[in-house]
Amino acid sequence: MNRKRLQADLGIAGGGMAGVCAALAAARAGARVVLIQDRSVLGGNASSEIRMHIVGASCSGRRPGARESGILEELRLDDAVHNPHRSPFLFDLLLYDKIRREPNITLLLDACCVGCRREGSAIRSVHAVRNLTEEAFDVEAPFFADCTGDGRLGFEAGAEHRMGREGRSEFGESLAPPAPDAKTLGSSILFMARRHDRPVRFEAPPWARRFTEAQLKFRSHREYEYGYWWMEWGGELDTIRDNDRIRHELLAIALGVWDHVKNGCRCPAEDSASRYDKWREAAETPREDPSCWALEWVGMLPGKRESRRFLGPHILTQHDVLEGRLPDDTVAYGGWWIDTHPPGGVDAAEEYPCTQHPVPYLYGIPLRCLYSRNIDNLFFAGRIISATHIAFASTRVMGTCAVVGQAVGAAAALAARTGCRRIVDLDARQVQQLLLKQDAFLPGFRNDDPADAARAATVTVSSAQPDAPGEAILDGITRATHPQLHPALGEAGHQWRSAGMPAWIELRWPRPLSIREVRITFDTGFERELTLTMSDVYNSRMIRGPQPETVSDYTLSAEGGWELAVRGNYQRLRTHRLDEPLRTGSLRLTAHRTHGGGCARIFEIRVYE
């Protein structure tokens, strides 16, 4: 094999949503990144290979206002605008495009992390192999991040980890099983189907499983275009070592379920599955005659929920999640239910396919959960962070994985920039401020960046609604909050809303300054859901295109006649870096048009010299 040596500030293994967000966050903060991905596409469980939609703290719309911001929101908005027809392949391309546009990122597709070189308690290089090109890579960096989902890099490095479920007494978790065991959540394979204008026969292969309605009585199968997350199996096996066996069984299950839908299902108007939908407060879908429906795609790669979990200085537990704790070193947040599944999957026919224990408030994920307690320079992001099985049942969803990935990328870039040798020596407050600058949301924390010159400005506006004054853009919080998100947040809009259009907002300083960068945070409708999904019912809750609240056309202007005009904006965070410093004592933003809303809405304006 041809061997190549690569040097970076951060080496990332794993190109799912956590790895992509980590790479983008680090690169945009100035770090040189090598991203190693063992598939031909990025996105992990959200890619076209598996097609699971990204969910997170908003609980599929049941917690309005909690949608993840930052890099994930940028990706969701790009997808909604450029992929309104919901092609899973275009989402692959979107992620590839984002990574390829970053000059600080070297992307290694189809490359698998197979080992590493350690010196003492630090990793010095990671070894990756790409068989398609007969190449081997040695990636050298002061910091590494394992975003592989299975923790391959951490395992090769000897990072402390565990697999399975803790017993109830170890952490005093009431939702844990009485005794520890090796069981996990299972994996799933999904399928897609399409309605045709004539009946289409389906004959299952002889190796497909056979299901009766009694075996699926708690598993709704009334929607045909996309399904089914509950086709789950393998939680009683080793989801890493037995993955190929799990794949074969899941394919037998998937085709067996479709055979039941097409040829065996005689669902009454009110059945156990529809009662289960009502219990979950989900929309009950009337059953359609399946005769004209045909399979269009069946996944060949299991979507894995759980395998290894690595141990950091802090282990997130049920208590952290249910009590809504916001640690001092919070760098990400979660809010999804504690969503446990029977390890037996579809074979546990007498159990609901999931039990979703309500999480009352958003909770903070501390930096101490995102790095190894025995490897000095190894971060973790995604489902493998330091958490018990019960806490993991909430943190495992991809929206949370993505914001954790952004946190790791920002932290690694800061560590490399400041010359920090060990992650434990990082100043979490600096990480928090960098994340807030990147449009992350950290409940209980706000912008107090001393370099943000806007904080010293006086604000005037053309008009404002009574509960949304211009000064709100300087309060350091960039979304509407209410006590239902967390009691510590209070009820506030945290935005300027004009009384009509066009409208302007102006920052003025006591003396001129030299502006090099302006960052504007717009409103993109966090009260709604927004994610790529193959489910027609779930998609009906979303706007696939620019969000109506967002300012589309605006102008930045300053003393001396300087102007910068923007047309067709749909993003939440817009960063304008000026080619030459702008010497001025004031800066005005004039909003000319939105994508449908009747007023200008701005959460924050930052200014940097």
| pLDDT, tens digit (0-9, with 9 covering 90-100), for 186-221 | 999 999 999 999 999 999 999 999 999 999 999 999
Question: Same domain, yes or no, for 480 and 528?
Answer: yes
Report the pLDDT value the prediction gives residue 593, as an integer from 0 to 100: 98
Please tell me the predicted confidence (pLDDT) of residue 288: 87
pLDDT tops 80 at residue 399? yes
Q: Are residues 93 and 132 in the same domain?
A: yes
Share of the chain above pLDDT 90, in %: 95
pTM for the structure as a whole: 0.96
Task: Indicate whether 272 pLDDT > 90.
Answer: no
Relative to beta strand 573-594, strand 503-522 is antiparallel
Q: Does 463 share its domain with 589?
A: yes
Residues 160 and 16 in one domain: yes
Q: Is residue 542 part of a domain?
A: yes
pLDDT at 287: 78
3-state secondary structure of 304: coil
- What is the pLDDT of the chain when averaged over all its residues? 96
Q: Is residue 327 part of a domain?
A: no
User: Is residue 116's pLDDT more than 90?
Assistant: yes
399 shares its domain with 471: no
DSSP-derived letter for residue 290 is G
Sign of CA dihedral 415, 418, 419, 424: negative
- The CA–CA distances, whole Å, from 168 to 127, 184, 314, 390 equal 39, 15, 18, 10
Confidence at residue 349, expressed as pLDDT on a 0 to 100 scale: 97
| Three-state secondary-structure class, residue 137 | strand
528 and 483 housed in the same domain? yes
How far is residue 428's CA from residue 313's CA, in Å, rounded to a whole number?
Answer: 14
Amino acid present at 398: M
Residue 366 has pLDDT above 80, yes or no: yes
Q: What confidence tens digit (pLDDT) does each residue in 536-572 have?
A: 999 999 999 999 999 999 999 999 899 999 999 999 9
The average pLDDT across 236-259 equals 98
Does the pLDDT at position 159 exceed 50?
A: yes
Q: Which pLDDT score, from 0 to 100, does residue 277 have?
A: 52
220 and 156 housed in the same domain: no
Handedness of CA 428, 475, 458, 584 (dihedral sign): positive
Which domain range does residue 552 map to? 453-608
Place of tokens 């520890």: 180
Residue 180 placed within a domain: no
Concatenate the DSSP letters of all residues of 549-606 into one string: TSEEEEEEEETTS-EEEE-S---SEEEEEEEEEEEEEEEEEEEEEESS-SS-EEEEEE
**Which of the listed residues 244, 274, 298 is the one where a domain comes to its end?**
298
- For residues 273 and 191, membership in a common domain is answered with yes
In a domain, residue 337? The reply is: no
Tokens 């304006």 belong to which residue? Answer: 605
The DSSP output letter for 181 is B
Question: In this predicted structure, what is the pLDDT of residue 285?
Answer: 63
- Helix axes 70-82 and 88-101, enclosed angle (nearest 10): 130
Same domain, 128 and 261: no
pLDDT for 276: 46
**What is the Cα–Cα distance from 396 to 358, expressed in whole angstroms?**
15
User: Taking Cα atoms as reference points, which of 11, 49, 350, 2 lies closest to residue 153?
Assistant: 11
The alpha carbon torsion through 439, 442, 446, 450 (nearest 10 deg) reads -60
Does residue 341 form part of some domain? no
DSSP letters for 32-43: -EEEE-SSSSSB
Mean pLDDT of 338-352: 98
Looking at residue 265, its pLDDT comes to 75
Does residue 74 sit in helix, strand or coil? helix
Both tokens assigned to 189: 């394979």
According to DSSP, the β-strands at 563-566 and 191-195 are unpaired
In a domain, 174, yes or no: no
Q: Say if residue 44's pLDDT is above 60.
A: yes
Q: Burial level of 219, CB count in 10 A (0-12/13-18/19+)?
A: buried
**What per-residue confidence (pLDDT) applies to 275?**
46
Residue 356 in domain: no
Residue the block writes with tokens 């010196």: 119
514 & 561 share domain: yes
- pLDDT (average), residues 120-145: 98
**CATH number, domain with residue 551:** 2.60.120.260
Whether omega before 502 lies within 30 degrees of 0, making that bond cis, reads: yes
Asked if residue 442 belongs to a domain, the reply is: no
pLDDT confidence of residue 195: 97
| Average pLDDT for 4-27 | 99
User: Residue 408 phi/psi, 5° resolution?
Assistant: -65, -45
Residue 40, domain CATH: 3.50.50.60
Spatial contact of 329 and 424, defined as CB atoms under 8 Å apart: no
Residue 284 Cα to chain centre, angstroms:
27
CB atoms within 10 A of CB 443: 21
Residue 274 and residue 225 share a domain: yes
pLDDT value at residue 27: 99
Q: Where are the alpha helices (DSSP H) in 327-377?
A: none
Tokens, residue 278: 């009502």
Residue 268 pLDDT? 52
Instruction: Kindly compute the dihedral angle of the four CA atoms of residues 400, 402, 405, 406, in this order, to the nearest 10 degrees.
Output: -110
Amino acid (1-letter code) at residue 187:
S
Q: Is 434 in contact with 414 (CB distance < 8 Å)? A: yes
Per-residue pLDDT tens over the stretch 466-475: 999 999 999 9
Give how many domains the chain has, as a whole number: 3
How far is it, in rounded angstroms, from Cα 600 to Cα 521? 12
Q: Give the closest residue to 20 by CA, choosing from 97, 88, 89, 86.
A: 97
> Can you tell me the mean pLDDT for 492-512?
98
**Does 485 lie in the same domain as 411?**
no
Measure CA 148 to chain center.
14
